[in-house]
């Protein structure tokens, strides 16, 4: 075992916690192409958080006001990564199941 101790470092910015955020988030499915889903998946695989936030800003049209403007990538950067930021894709996929095909 190493002499190095693990210490918890508090984030510079407290994550924006909103209890019912899943009910407040809305997507513009006309902008959700296969390419955008590929880019999201690639962004997560590469750890390209800024790129993911830019895609969120393109496809999200409503979000909790505490986060900021839905079309601003900075609105997503300080979200809790595991509880919200990463989970937005799951909410997107679930909402997409209800989109009617034309």
Rounded to an integer, the average pLDDT of 11-24 is 72
> Is 1 a domain residue?
no
Beta carbons of 38 and 52 less than 8 angstroms apart: no
pLDDT at residue 13 tops 90: no
> Is 6 a domain residue?
no
> Is 39 a domain residue?
yes
Top-confidence residue, 26 or 8: 26
> Is 32 a domain residue?
yes
Give the pLDDT confidence score for residue 99 in this predicted structure. 80
> Is 7 a domain residue?
no
pLDDT at residue 97 tops 80: yes
Q: What's the distance, CA 52 to chain centroid?
A: 7
Domain count for the chain, please give it. Answer: 1
> Is 82 a domain residue?
yes
Chain segment 72-93, per-residue pLDDT in tens: 999 999 999 888 999 999 999 9
Most confident of 3-7, 14-18, 80-84: 80-84
Chain segment 25-76, per-residue pLDDT in tens: 999 999 999 999 999 999 999 999 999 999 999 999 999 999 999 999 999 9
> Is 3 a domain residue?
no
Range of the domain at 76: 26-96
For residues 82, 83, 84 and 88, what is the CA-based torsion angle, rounded to 10 degrees? 80
> Is 65 a domain residue?
yes
Give the pLDDT confidence score for residue 63 in this predicted structure. 95
Burial of 4 (0-12, 13-18, 19+ CB in 10 A): exposed
């Amino acid at each position: 075992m190493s002499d190095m101790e693990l210490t918890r470092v508090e984030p510079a910015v407290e994550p924006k916690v909103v209890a019912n955020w899943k009910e407040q988030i809305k997507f513009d499915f006309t902008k959700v192409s296969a390419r955008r889903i590929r880019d999201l998946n690639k962004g997560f695989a590469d750890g390209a958080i800024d790129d993911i936030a830019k895609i969120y800003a393109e496809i999200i049209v409503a979000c909790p006001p505490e986060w900021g403007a839905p079309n601003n990538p900075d609105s997503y950067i300080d979200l809790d990564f595991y509880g919200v930021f990463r989970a937005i894709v799951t909410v997107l996929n679930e909402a997409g199941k209800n989109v009617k095909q034309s």
